[in-house]
Structure 1
């Protein structure tokens, strides 16, 4: 498959998109871990989630 004179541009574009997607995935994973850690801290302090309540008033 020949990409012609635009081969460098196409390859660079794919590489940039790959880097951006990997960075977004890493950001989401890091944020998820931070949110889980913060939630654990709050629960250890006695704060409960409204969805976690057992009594319905």
Structure 2
């Protein structure tokens, strides 16, 4: 149940929406950066194995 926000409903709901969008963006960027870091680490480790 949503409380009655009165004349502030638009501002509050848009702030919630913006927060959710920004949070989702941060999660996606973090996952992407993690994939890149993992790939870079695997490349370094595979070079290390080849070099002995």
Identify the TM-score tier after normalising by the shorter chain: 0.7 to 0.9
2:48 corresponds to 1:46: yes
**Matched pairs, number:** 47
Q: Report the counterpart of residue 29 of structure 2 in structure 1.
A: 27
1:19, distance to aligned residue in structure 2 (A) = 0.4
- Aligned-pair Cα RMSD in Å: 1.1
TM-score w.r.t. length of structure 2: 0.85
The one of the two structures with greater contact order (alpha-carbon pairs below 8 A, sep at least 6) is: 2
What CA distance in whole angstroms lies between the structure 1 residues aligned with 2:29 and 2:35?
10
Q: Secondary structure at the residue paired with 1:2?
A: coil
1:2, distance to aligned residue in structure 2 (A) = 1.1
Name segments (4+ residues, structure 1) moved above 3 Å.
none
